[in-house]
Amino acid sequence: MPLKEASKKMLYLALIPGKNIGWGVCGANLIKEISMLHPCELIPWKENQGGMEKFYPGPVFHTIGDHNLRKVFNVKGEENYGYTFFENSISEGAVESAKFFNIVFAGSTWCGERLEERGISWTETLIQGVSPDIFHPLSFDKNSAKEQFVIFSGGKFELRKGQDLVIRAVKALQDRHKDVIFINLWFNPWKFSMDTMAGSGHIVYNPRGSAWSEIMGNILFDNGLDLKRVIIGEQVAQHELKNIYEVVNLGVFPNRCEGGTNLVLMEFMACARPVIASWNTGHKDVLTSENAILLEKMSRREILDPATQRIEAIWEEPDLDELIEKLEDAYQNRGVLKKTAERAGEDMRSWTWKRSAKDLLEKIDAF
């Protein structure tokens, strides 16, 4: 029975609420917003722990783990809807796994296109949101960094996020201009993910140390940055991020691939802060030439499986020279950034978690 025929029927949420990590932020906000619009119940995490598959007497909205498109929770509903973000190529068994779901929701248009290329036509796009009570336009004129040029970069430190390009570009700016300050929030608890930077080709990658600030400080020192003009952030609570954004002139996001729309990027822009960002993959759902400075020169980058040397992902490689050129232009014409910043804040007003929740419910016929 379609959900719309029983609009008060319980919707079960196989989501994992949390803080700081993308899936946790996504899960927590969707749970909050869906609960205001429709009867719902959170499935306990213990349902993921082995045993027999548990049946729920209604529709279930599932977390999908990765590019294999397997559900995370060992549960099944009368109807099953999955939510996925991935950057690697769809695996051989993914099509069969996808048949479990009535709809596979993709975190970006790019992600949905990859599904459709593999014949998974029962897909819809579900864009993430921002929390306007936390991330809302900050004054650009009162930016306390007026006497300096403060560059920000966020996201966990790994090859896919493109921080190696940021390091090279910031070094170029620091070498030219003594007022360039660099703030990074790159904390990454997963060594396997961080170690993908060994394949960069742009930076020296020799991590050493114990504390995060020591590890990252050594990496930046090895690559020529002036550590006296660098602030290395640890993991920061989400509600405190805007205090950092308030003193920033420009954010840099030369990501090689985003299966979603990049929450850090969206939250930064929602604070009416301008960005230089790659015009590729999931970024294309939220970026325009009016709300961002776009990196448009892309080349194909194949990511190989270390064991088999087979292609496991195809990403888009931003051009380092274009990044440095646009960073320098932003430095020289920082007054022009205000218009881009204001448009970024205005555009992000519409991309809320409430909108995401309503979009989901409409697409599964809950309204």
- How many CA atoms lie within 13 Å of 101's alpha carbon, on the beta-carbon side? 28
pLDDT tens digits in sequence order for the chain, 367 residues long: 445 544 568 999 999 998 877 888 999 999 999 999 999 999 998 766 667 899 999 999 999 988 899 999 999 999 999 999 999 999 889 999 999 999 999 999 999 999 999 999 999 999 999 999 999 999 876 554 568 999 999 999 999 999 999 999 999 999 999 999 999 999 999 999 999 999 999 999 999 999 999 999 999 999 999 999 999 999 898 889 999 999 999 999 999 999 999 999 999 999 999 999 999 999 999 999 999 999 999 999 999 988 888 999 999 999 999 999 999 999 999 888 999 999 999 999 999 999 999 999 999 986 5
Determine contact, residues 161/155, Cβ cutoff 8 Å: yes
Measured CA to CA, the distance from residue 186 to residue 212 in angstroms comes to 9
Beta bridge partners of 315: 301
Measured CA to CA, the distance from residue 109 to residue 284 in angstroms comes to 8
Measured CA to CA, the distance from residue 276 to residue 297 in angstroms comes to 13
> Which is nearest to 296 in space by CA: 270, 271, 278, 308?
278
Give this prediction's pTM: 0.94
Give the start-to-end residue ranges of the domains of the chain: 3-129+352-363, 149-348
Determine contact, residues 155/253, Cβ cutoff 8 Å: yes
> Which is nearest to 86 in space by CA: 312, 245, 306, 246?
312
Residue at 14: amino acid letter: A
DSSP element (H, E) containing 111: helix 109-117
Question: With respect to CATH, is domain 3-129+352-363 assigned 3.40.1340?
Answer: no
DSSP element (H, E) containing 54: strand 54-63
How far apart, in Å, are the Cα atoms of 19 and each of 25, 226, 235? 5, 32, 10
Equal fold, 3-129+352-363 vs 149-348: yes
Measured CA to CA, the distance from residue 121 to residue 143 in angstroms comes to 47
Measured CA to CA, the distance from residue 59 to residue 75 in angstroms comes to 11
Pick the CATH number of 149-348 from 3.40.640.10, 3.40.50.2000, 3.40.120.10, 3.30.1490.20: 3.40.50.2000
Name residues whose C-beta falls within 8 Å of residue 141's C-beta, 6 or more positions apart in sequence.
Answer: 338
Measured CA to CA, the distance from residue 326 to residue 310 in angstroms comes to 35
